[in-house]
A = this chain, B = another copy of it.
Amino acid sequence: MNSAEPKSSTLDLVAAVSSMLTPTERRIAEAVIAEPTLLAFGTVSDLADQVGTSRPSIVRFATKLGFDGYTELQQHVRSDLSHRLSRPSERIRHGGKESVPAKRAIGDAISSVFDAIEGDRVSRLVEPVVAAKKVWILSGETSQAGAHALHSGLSMVRPDVTLLEEHFFVGDLSDAGPEDTAVVFDFQRYRRQVAVAARVLAEAGVTIVAITDSPLSPLVDLADTWCQIEVPPVGPFDSSVPVVAMSELLVAQAAKDLHDAATSRIDRIEALWEATETFL
C-alpha cells in the first residue's frame, strides 16, 4: 500500500505552486496547511465544505499540484504520514530483518516505551501500585532485569514489595488479596508461566498491571491497566533495555506520587546503609 517514499513533503508542493493559485485554490491551500489531517482523512466533499467551495475546485487543486486527481494527492499525503508514524517504532518485527543494527533496534525500542506512556498512561499504571497494600512483581527470564529494577526501585519508595522471578511457586502467592496489586511482565517466550500465576492472583482479587509486548496477550484481559512495549533482539537474545526503562519510569512516577512518604523513606534507608557500612 504505502511503500513509496514521498519525494517531497506535501507542504513543499503546495508552496511550490502557491504563486499561481486562484483565490479559492489559495483558500484550499490555507485550509490544508492549517489542518493536514483534512487532506489525509477527509473526502473531497469534506474539504469543499470546510473551505466553503465546490468539490471540483478541490479536484482541480489536486491536479494543479501535479497529481492525476484528488485520490493521488491523498495517497501522497498518507504515505507521507505513514512514514512519520512508522519511523519511531513498529517496524522491527516485520520489515526489519536481523540486519537492523542494534543501535537502531534499541533506539526504536526506547521510542516505543515513550509511546506507551503517552498522556497520563504512566499515572494510570502507577496508581494501583502506590495505592496497594502489598505489591507483587512477576516476571519471566526475558524481563528479569526489568523486574529487578522495578523491585529495587519500588522498595525504596514504599514497603511490602515482593519480587517473584522465573521459577516461583504458586504457593508464594497465597498471601495476596484484593487490596494488593501485581505488576506482571509478560513477554513472548515466557508467557504461559506468568499467565498462570497472574490468573491465580486475578482470581484472588488482586489488581493486575501488565507490561506486555502484545495487546493480544492473554494477560491483557486480566489486567486492570496495561501497556505495550517493544522487545527488540540484540545479538542472539531479546533486549531488556525497554523493560528496564519502563520500570524506571514507573518507579519515578511512583516516587512522585508518594512524594513525602517516599522521600522520608529514602532518607531512612540511606541512613541505614551508612550505618551498616555499605559504603565500606
- C-beta contact mask, A154-193 vs B, less than 8 Å → 1, else 0? 0011000000000100000000000000000000001011
A54 to chain B, nearest CB (A): 19
A22 at the interface (CB under 8 A from B): no
Closest to A117 in B: B100
Closest to A85 in B: B37
* CA distance in complex: A145, B252 (Å): 16
Q: Which listed residue, B11, B193, B214, touches A33 by the CB 8 Å rule?
A: B214
Q: Among the listed stretches A56-64, A104-112, A128-136, A201-209, which one makes contact with chain B, having 4 or more residues with CB under 8 Å of it? A: A104-112
A257 to chain B, nearest CB (A): 11
* CA distance in complex: A114, B19 (Å): 27
Closest to A246 in B: B241
Check A193–B240 contact: CB distance below 8 A: no
Interface residues of A in 20-36 (CB under 8 A from B): 26, 29-30, 33-36
Check A94–B149 contact: CB distance below 8 A: no
Residues of B within 8 A of A149 (CB): 145, 240
Check B279–A193 contact: CB distance below 8 A: yes
Q: Which listed residue, B11, B12, B241, touches A241 by the CB 8 Å rule?
A: B241
A234 to chain B, nearest CB (A): 5
A113 to chain B, nearest CB (A): 8
Q: Which listed residue, B35, B106, B218, B240, touches A19 by the CB 8 Å rule?
A: B218
* CA distance in complex: A245, B245 (Å): 10
Check B37–A78 contact: CB distance below 8 A: yes
A196 at the interface (CB under 8 A from B): yes
